[in-house]
Amino acid sequence: MDLPSSPQRFTREELLSYAGRTIPDLVGDDLRLLFVGINPGLVSAATGLHFARTGNRFYPALRMAGILPADVVTPQDARPVLLERGIGITNLVARASARADELEPGELVEGRARLEAFVDAHRPRVVAIAGITSYRVAFGRRTARAGRQDVTLGDAQLWVVPNPSGLNAHETVDSLAAAYREAAVAAGVV
């Protein structure tokens, strides 16, 4: 897939035309840390890049956490660096939507099975799911808290980290970075 070299502007109608589409997982050899989003947003579906919406705090948090160098700014520039460092990205639910709350609980539960198969095939050291509410639904753990979980996913440590969406307003880039760094240290990537 050809990816845009710079951020693009889309009309609302253009973005809505990407609802339901999927994007490829970002995964390479020697996967050590797997970040798991809830599902792709419409900008991600339009560009083929995870966490691509302008203003999403994922990449700034990765830079602040020391997972990405300071000069890696765009999602496209981050791709080769993440792969080189053994970091991948996938989603619980593959289909794109404008908001994660458009998903049905059953989709999240089905996403868990897909994630289990993915982890089985790629064998990361650490899986970091970005979003406590989605984790609780997908894994049937209603009282789960953020951080390292007391269960594994296959052979991988399982972590729940904050979702970087701006809709998760009580989190800051600083708090996201701290949580992402903990998972990255456990995976041995920082």
Nearest to 67 by CA among 47, 46, 89: 89
Neighbours of 116 (CB within 10 A): 13
Measured distance CA(135)–CA(69) in Å, rounded: 29
State if pTM tops 0.95.
Answer: no
Q: Is the pLDDT of residue 2 over 70?
A: no
Kind plus residue range of the DSSP H or E element containing 15 = helix 12-16
Q: Average pLDDT, whole number, for the chain?
A: 93
Edge-first strand listing for the sheet containing 33-37: 87-91, 33-37, 126-130, 156-161, 147-153
Measured distance CA(61)–CA(58) in Å, rounded: 5
DSSP string, 67-86: SS-TT--SHHHHHHHHHHTT
Over range 151-180, report the average pLDDT. 92
Over range 9-38, report the average pLDDT. 95
Output the pLDDT for position 5.
42
- Where does the pLDDT of residue 40 fall: very low under 50, low under 70, confident under 90, or very high at 90 and above? very high
Asked if residue 69 lies in contact with residue 77, where contact means CB atoms within 8 angstroms, the answer is no
Helices assigned H by DSSP within 27-143: 42-47, 58-64, 75-84, 105-122, 132-139
CATH number of 22-187: 3.40.470.10
Output the pLDDT for position 4.
44
- Where does the pLDDT of residue 132 fall: very low under 50, low under 70, confident under 90, or very high at 90 and above? very high
